[in-house]
Structure 1
Amino acid sequence: MAPRRDGADALKFPILIGDIGGTNARFAILLDAYAEPKLFPVVQTADYANIDDAIQADVLDKTSIQPKSAVLAVAGPIDGDEIDLTNCPWVVRPKQMVENLGIEEIIVLNDFEAQALAISSLKEGSRTQIGGGIVREGASRAVLGPGTGLGVAGLVRARNMWIPVAGEGGHIDLGPRSERDYQIWPHLQTIEGRISGEQVLCGRGLVNLYDAICKVNGSQAVHATPAEVTEAAVNRKDEEAVEAVDLFATYLGRMAGDIALIFMARGGVFIGGGIFQRIIPILKQDHIRAAFEDKAPHTELMREIPLYVVTEPLAALAGLAAFARTPRFFGLETTGRRWVG
């Protein structure tokens, strides 16, 4: 593994960028610092045994462009030369990728670092504000997003650079607050006795919440997937699905407020992820905002912090592209996360 690269060092073009989640992987190639990313069709991770095969079949075999560098965001902690994804059987082996795919340099980030990079320059048309609050320029920001799992990251400004702060914040404890919460909580599936944010605020978490509500109501659970619960709620097919989506949004607003306090995110908190985008039409935004602000003794502080929904579907790729074009604008530590041929 190479020593730490200087953040001001430019990557060699063309650059492959990739956002690898638990279910889907998205890839694009940047020809140069000014070109728009050349996008490729979304890859289902279940269709390939490993990331190397997916890149070969769905990217390299579909273009004559040979990337010289790669910046990849993966859904899992990065520790060593073999990177396990949290909700996917793929194991990313950058040394092997350098040998097999002809790429000279690979940098691997956490997937929510990429989301954090994106919110450094998210355009007005790529976000929708929930409630009030005013952005303080240069202040810290934070992003969280429910998908296959629950990702969380921060973004801080120092020395004229944006510095993404990755972590596994989706696994912090999530507790009951209301009388209804106390009815539901005993019926939620746990991990070794714990109910973490991710046990409720992700795809399988939505189903977990729906199942628990059905048990409390004494009704039969008829929906087995996040898509089924969401569709039933959007079309008002049954009250349990509607309540599950409503509480899902409230709990996400509650956790977004916690993350805002951790990072003192006066620059805004951003909610990404495909699940949230699909339920926006039926969300009670005042409930989300109220849950976000309900942080006594800091309610007044929370009222000043803006909360956004990210509506850009490829935000992570946009963040990776921003870093790949101009690494010097980002204080991204790559020690232990950079491999060269």
Structure 2
Amino acid sequence: MAEVQPHTFAFPILIGDIGGTNARFSILVDATSAPDQFPHVQTADYETIDDAIADVVLKNSVHKPRSAILAVAGPIDGDEIDLTNCDWIVRPKKMIGELGFDTVLVLNDFEAQALAVASLTAADRQPIGPIAEATEASRVVLGPGTGLGVAGLVHARNTWFPVPGEGGHVDIGPRSKRDFEIFPHLRRIDGRVSAEEIISGRGLLNIYNAVCAADGIAPSLDAPPEVTEQGLSGENPQAAETIELFVRYLGRLAGDLALIFMARGGVFLGGGISPRILDALKKPEFREEFEDKAPHNELMKTIPTFVVTHPQAALAGLASFARSPATYGIALEGRCWQR
């Protein structure tokens, strides 16, 4: 496998954001044109990613892509890349041989989110708290959704360096009196409460069930969307407390990660849940927990926080990289294949 230098990504370029449930594709014809969009794909509707690309993209485009840059929800550890939450396997060599690509680059899905955080404008985000500007300094992105993705974004020598990781699996512990009542009832993995088990879709349900258990009542809701809807409306008291606790726990973790990365450029909340609970995040609890990091409370007050509102943030990030790869410090070794 040869190392591919950034300038060798030939247009047109297929970009794809491949999750466990949905896949989104677009084609960049050149470095200046707006991307050609295609309908969202349900991964369950196609046996393979190659079938989806052939049917949804290649059949419906007059432009034959020469390169592909794909962000996938799964570890990249060879030329057969298993997705975490669906049966698709990405086989770059097979794509080159059968779909006609010259180059295929595969990135982590939260690298794409980090690329988006570096490139999106103020119109694509909502500030949470008093600071509305994001400086060109290191940043963090968290994405509560089906799971909890975390990535850093280091800024040095006029270059953005995405730092993907597994920060969604760090431990979360109780702090308040109410936490100590609720945490004994939370579902654990091998004895520990990880961030993803409470700051995600299933985490909403986990918190809700624990709140009900602490209150000594039977839960009446059994799906995260129900908890969100009735929590935001106030229709269900336990669901309403769940939303408040979710916001608090997200604020605590966001603050921890801001300190770890010294993210003076801001902390950005992506994923599917954050935009849906935007009004709850704008209440005081998120910033209270975010800033409560003694002895560094004053430092935390200077770090901005945002919700990413762009509907296709990952694709936008990949497109920015495809247009201007030299702007980003993306390591290609082991995940870029050429004809």
Contact 1:157 1:163 survives alignment (8 Å): yes
Distance across 1 between alignment mates of 2:8 and 2:266: 29
The aligned counterpart of 2:21 is 23
Alignment of structure 1 residues 110-149 onto 2, 5 Å: 110-133=108-131, 137-149=135-147
Report the secondary structure of 1:119's partner residue.
helix
The aligned counterpart of 1:157 is 155
Distance across 1 between alignment mates of 2:165 and 2:325: 21
Distance across 1 between alignment mates of 2:52 and 2:269: 28
The aligned counterpart of 1:294 is 292
Distance across 1 between alignment mates of 2:217 and 2:56: 44
Report the secondary structure of 2:11's partner residue.
coil
- Of 28, 38, 57, the residue aligned with 1:59 is 57
Distance across 2 between alignment mates of 1:177 and 1:284: 22
Distance across 1 between alignment mates of 2:162 and 2:230: 37
Residue 233 to residue 136, structure 1, CA distance change in 2 (3 Å): closer
Alignment of structure 1 residues 186-335 onto 2, 5 Å: 186-283=184-281, 285-335=283-333
Distance across 2 between alignment mates of 1:171 and 1:325: 33
Distance across 2 between alignment mates of 1:207 and 1:23: 19
Greater alpha carbon shift after TM alignment, 196-205 vs 131-140: 131-140
Q: How well do the aligned residues superpose, as a CA RMSD in angstroms? A: 1.6
- Please report how far the alpha carbon of residue 254 of structure 1 lies from its aligned counterpart in structure 2 after TM superposition: 0.8
Distance across 1 between alignment mates of 2:209 and 2:230: 14
- Please report how far the alpha carbon of residue 52 of structure 1 lies from its aligned counterpart in structure 2 after TM superposition: 1.6
Identity of aligned residues (%): 59
Alignment of structure 1 residues 148-187 onto 2, 5 Å: 148-187=146-185
- Of 76, 79, 82, the residue aligned with 2:80 is 82
The aligned counterpart of 2:34 is 36
- Please report how far the alpha carbon of residue 190 of structure 1 lies from its aligned counterpart in structure 2 after TM superposition: 1.4
The aligned counterpart of 2:4 is 5
Contact 2:2 2:337 survives alignment (8 Å): no
Report the secondary structure of 1:184's partner residue.
helix
After superposition, the C-alpha distances for 1:233-259 in whole angstroms (9 at most, x for unaligned) are 233221111111111111111111111
Runs of 4+ in 1 over 4 A off after TM superposition: 133-136
Q: What is the total number of aligned residue pairs between the two structures?
A: 339
Letter in 1 for 2:5: D
- Please report how far the alpha carbon of residue 220 of structure 1 lies from its aligned counterpart in structure 2 after TM superposition: 2.2
After superposition, the C-alpha distances for 1:287-341 in whole angstroms (9 at most, x for unaligned) are 0001111111111111110111111111111100000011111111010010112
Distance across 2 between alignment mates of 1:108 and 1:39: 20
The aligned counterpart of 1:95 is 93
Greater alpha carbon shift after TM alignment, 282-291 vs 28-37: 282-291
Distance across 2 between alignment mates of 1:49 and 1:216: 44
Report the secondary structure of 1:208's partner residue.
helix
Greater alpha carbon shift after TM alignment, 203-212 vs 82-91: 82-91
Residue 275 to residue 6, structure 1, CA distance change in 2 (3 Å): same
Residue 88 to residue 174, structure 1, CA distance change in 2 (3 Å): farther
Letter in 1 for 2:101: I
After superposition, the C-alpha distances for 1:182-240 in whole angstroms (9 at most, x for unaligned) are 11111111122221111111111111111111211222222222222112223322111
- Please report how far the alpha carbon of residue 92 of structure 1 lies from its aligned counterpart in structure 2 after TM superposition: 1.7
Report the secondary structure of 2:334's partner residue.
coil
Report the secondary structure of 1:59's partner residue.
helix
Distance across 1 between alignment mates of 2:112 and 2:128: 23
- Please report how far the alpha carbon of residue 10 of structure 1 lies from its aligned counterpart in structure 2 after TM superposition: 4.1
Letter in 2 for 1:11: F
- Please report how far the alpha carbon of residue 45 of structure 1 lies from its aligned counterpart in structure 2 after TM superposition: 2.0
Greater alpha carbon shift after TM alignment, 314-323 vs 20-29: 20-29
Distance across 2 between alignment mates of 1:283 and 1:242: 13
After superposition, the C-alpha distances for 1:138-169 in whole angstroms (9 at most, x for unaligned) are 32111111111111111112232111111111
Distance across 1 between alignment mates of 2:60 and 2:217: 50
Matched, 1:72 2:70: yes
Q: Tell me the TM-score normalized by structure 2.
A: 0.95
Distance across 1 between alignment mates of 2:134 and 2:28: 32
Contact 1:10 1:327 survives alignment (8 Å): no
Contact 2:137 2:263 survives alignment (8 Å): yes
Contact 2:160 2:327 survives alignment (8 Å): yes
Q: Which runs of 5+ in 2 are unaligned?
A: none
Distance across 1 between alignment mates of 2:98 and 2:71: 19
Q: Tell me the TM-score normalized by structure 1.
A: 0.95
Letter in 2 for 1:331: G
Distance across 2 between alignment mates of 1:137 and 1:284: 21
Report the secondary structure of 2:208's partner residue.
helix
